[in-house]
Structure 1
Amino acid sequence: MTGAGGSVRVDHAVVSGTFSLDGETFDVDNNIWVVGDDAECVVIDAPHSVDAILDVVGDRTVKAILLTHAHDDHCRVAPELRERVNGGSGAPILLHPDERPLWELTHTDRLWDVDLADGFEITVGGVTLKALHTPGHAPGAVCFAAPELGCVFTGDTLFQGGPGATGRSFSDRPTLEASIRAKLFALPEETVVHTGHGDDTTIGAEKAALGA
């Protein structure tokens, strides 16, 4: 897709840090996803390092910071990122309101800016990303589908090899599998899945893995 700022693309980097929940802490590598053209972009999740995210953004205008969910390894640096993009003029953080209990585990004194809901759309560089509410890994988990780019950004809802983790606070395996079947498996099988951790996969490959 080509807009006023040139061709829309998906830029990617990996950054390392920790994930903490239920009194345990783990080392994790998170994917940074930035979608846009040469003029503007959106950032999907804000893991570990603002500088690493800004390296991917470059000199582009950031329209929004889209959070797939509020586990600390996905939202920890979101408030700082909000303040530092666009020459310090900032950009809104978007998060599903059902994530507030998790958000407040990391950020006790400040909130996000815009509530996400199922079907919410945002356009960047002429390409539309649509929010799909996919609870299960977290109550307000959201995936962002970009049909024009043939991809979906799934956070920790769906990985190469199957659904995201459950068994911790605010998660539920049957709810997660139902979300995946209803929302993600409705996408074309060739849709590329850009995950919160690890390698890409496709909807078709994961449908086969789940026996869908």
Structure 2
Amino acid sequence: MAVDTPEVAESQPPRLIRETFPVGPLRCNCSVLGDPDTLEAIVIDPGGDVQRILAVLAKHNLRLTGIVVTHAHLDHISGAASLRALTGAPVLYHQADLELVALMDQQAAWMGVPTPEVKAPDESIGTATELRVGRSTLRVLHTPGHTPGSICLYAPDHDLLLAGDTLFQGSVGRTDLWGGDTSTLLRSIQSELLHLPEGTLVIPGHGNTTSIGLEREHNIYLRNL
């Protein structure tokens, strides 16, 4: 029976558990990413339904080590403080969105929901940041435009992009809300996302998945980039 040498084993791409599901009244796409060997995990965009998130972590016996928020609109961040209180995992998002946190009452009134408890991040993250989930690396891409602190997470070993509300199937993030700017958003997509491999799976903040290649070819908002 053949036995892998340590060098061969190390060259194998890391394994990754991923579950993505809609949470909250606006059905934000929340993702749980976990390493099946170390059982470390992060949650991206816990916009509500915290008990469902905890159930997914428990199903895979995962230990939460980080809570990442792609931007500080209420539908993406409203469950973060509760999840932190229950797990002890730190909350990470870009400090440029603290101005949106200060407007949480206005956000809640506009969406017609109670104002959630939202706190400053335990750590601010930007383009220079890399996150680890066991053996997998996630590169943080600062993509302002939808909000000043919007980020995406790119996992090169898995051809995976968690795009928040920056890029959607056939569309881009709206810019008529707090902190939005259309020209900044399009520059972010051009500089940070469109150079990624065309087969990269894109998980947007809401709705269906897509790929970088499909958006390059068919997204009408990106035709002049």
TM above 0.5, one fold?
A: yes
Unaligned runs of 5+ in 2: 1-8, 105-115
Q: CA RMSD in A?
A: 1.8
Q: Could you say which residue in structure 1 is the equivalent of 2:63?
A: 61
After TM superposition, the structure 1 stretch with the greater mean CA deviation from structure 2, 49-58 or 7-16, is 7-16
Alpha-carbon contact 1:12-1:56 (below 8 Å) kept: no
In structure 1, the residue corresponding to 2:81 is in which secondary structure?
helix
Q: Residue 97 of structure 1 aligns with which residue?
A: 95
Q: Percent identity?
A: 38
Task: Map 1:1-212; keep pairs closer than 5 Å.
Answer: 7-17=15-25, 28-38=26-36, 39-58=39-58, 59-85=61-87, 90-106=88-104, 110-208=119-217, 209=219, 210-211=222-223, 212=225
Residue pair 2:24, 2:75 contacting (<8 A) in 1 also = no
With structure 2 as the length reference, what TM-score do the two structures score? 0.82
Alpha-carbon spacing, 1:109–1:128, altered in 2? closer, same or farther (3 Å): closer
Q: Name the larger-Rg structure.
A: 2
The answer to whether the Cα contact below 8 Å between 1:34 and 1:44 also exists between their aligned partners in 2 is yes
TM-score calculated relative to the size of structure 1: 0.87
Contact 2:100 / 2:178 at 8 angstroms: preserved in 1?
Answer: no
Structure 1 residues 204 and 92: CA distance shift in structure 2, 3 A = same
The count of residues paired between Structure 1 and Structure 2 equals 195
CA deviation digits over 1:144-173, x for unaligned, max 9?
A: 000101110001000001211111221011
Q: Distance in 2 between matches of 1:119 and 1:192?
A: 22
Q: Which secondary structure does the structure 2 equivalent of 1:145 belong to?
A: strand
1:123 alignment partner, SS class: strand
Secondary structure in 1 matching 2:177: coil
Higher strand proportion: 1
The structure with more helix, counted as a fraction of residues: 2
Structure 1 unaligned spans of 5+: 18-27
